[in-house]
Structure 1
Amino acid sequence: MNIKIETERLILRPIIPSDAEGMFILDSNPNVHTYLGNNPIKSIDEAKGYIENIQNQYIQNGTGRFAVVLKDTNEFIGWAGIKLLTEPENNHVNVYEIGYRLQEPHWGKGYGSEAAKAWLEYGFTEMKIQKMYASVNKENAASKRILEKLGMQITSEFLWNDIPCYWLEMENNKL
């Protein structure tokens, strides 16, 4: 993957094996998993497996989740990106979903919005995606606010692994 996106404060680049420690810090935190089914990872090997899965998505789908890195410190703080949904979600399959996940110390600083906005623009302009999708746990007000701030609209509600979620959509012409 040769994609690299820069924003004012962030570098969005492919996730690499050396991101395993940062990925473990992210996904082992129970607070990060509050709205994701409360199933944090328990080992660095799980983080490495997750990275391998992401790298396979790059190969198979030409896109996926990318590292979110602070420009000032080169610190891995999470991931963001566009994923091709190859498994049905809310009766949709083979559609593009925007997503993000950040380490807890970096919440509330606008990094999620900044990364998601950059990916939305990239998806619409470079990838020529016609419609972008997202899902969010109905109780995750902060993430819902990010998606709505981007201009995404709630179009339905559904259950994902027995978790009540909103389904959001945005047409390419809305930027």
Structure 2
Amino acid sequence: MPLPDHHWLETERTRMRPFEEEDAGHAFAWFSDPSVMQFIPGGADLTPEDSRRRIHRYREHQRHHGFSKRLILHRETGKPIGDSGLYHLPDGKRIELGFRLAKPYWGQGYASEVGRAWLAWFDTHHPGTPLFADVHADHLRSRRVLEKLGFDLSHSETILGMPMLIYRRR
């Protein structure tokens, strides 16, 4: 079942909504940060246009699959703080959970919080469907979040030219 564009996914401290074209300027702040994008295949966006193209891909994915990466807004301030959501791995068959936060929001539990919200949505709308996540072996923080969320290491594979660990939800 698709996640309607107008539907907000909410947690105690965040609200998540589909990306809009106008979000590229805000999102460029973390999409262009080499620290944030260090373990992302393709690396950091070099220009705001790169971020617009990325957001366009997310919007197209939403249109075709009923889910995608979404903008994370801090509930109290309304400020964009990152993105998270569900996206197809390059094989087009497996669905992955992903989360990415602007550096000032690292280490505060936001990734686990938004991850739990996506798992609840996924369980309701795709019961029995396996869920995956890909993460670089050196990205220890994300690996710990995935383990907290109930994912186990499955195997390794190359994703878009980068060696990654593939986790599968228990």
TM-score by structure 2 length? 0.90
- Other-structure match for 1:83: 87
Equivalence map 1:7-156=2 (5 Å): 7-37=11-41, 39-85=43-89, 87-88=90-91, 93-128=92-127, 130-156=129-155
| Displacement after TM superposition at 1:37 (Å) | 4.6
C-alpha distance in 2, partners of 1:7/1:125? 16
Q: Offset at 1:163?
A: 3.2
Inter-partner Cα distance in structure 2 for 1:36 and 1:112: 16
For residues 71-112 of structure 1, what are the alpha-carbon distances to aligned partners after superposition, in whole Å with 9 as ceiling and x for unaligned? 000011111001123x32xxxx41211001111111111111
SS at the partner of 2:131? strand
**Separation (CA, whole Å) in 2 of partners of 1:132 and 1:95:** 7
Q: Indicate the larger mover: 15-24 or 102-111.
A: 15-24
**Unaligned 5+ residue runs, structure 2?**
none
Q: CA deviation at 1:164?
A: 3.0
Q: Is the 8 A contact 2:38 2:44 kept in 1?
A: no
Q: CA deviation at 1:2?
A: 2.8
What number of residue pairs does the alignment pair up?
166
Cα RMSD, aligned residues only? 1.6
8 Å contact from structure 2 (residues 42, 160) kept in 1: no
Deviation at 1:162, TM superposition (A): 4.7
Distance apart, 1:19 and its partner CA: 1.3
Q: Which moved more, 1:3-12 or 1:138-147?
A: 3-12
Write the distance in 1 (CA, Å) between the matches of 2:99 and 2:18: 14
Pick closer, same or farther for the CA change 1:141–1:13 going to 2, 3 Å.
same
Q: Give the whole-Å Cα distance in 1 for the aligned partners of 2:139 and 2:66.
A: 29
Query: What percentage of aligned pairs have identical amino acids?
Result: 27
Distance 1:119 1:64 in 2: 11
Q: Is the 8 A contact 1:63 1:84 kept in 2?
A: no
CA distance in 1, matches of 2:41, 2:60: 24
- Change in Cα spacing, 1:127 to 1:161, as seen in structure 2 (3 Å) is closer
Give the alignment's TM-score, normalised by structure 1. Answer: 0.88
Q: Distance in 1 between matches of 2:128 and 2:73?
A: 25
Deviation of residue 3 (structure 1)?
2.5
Structure 1 residues 159 and 49: CA distance shift in structure 2, 3 A: closer
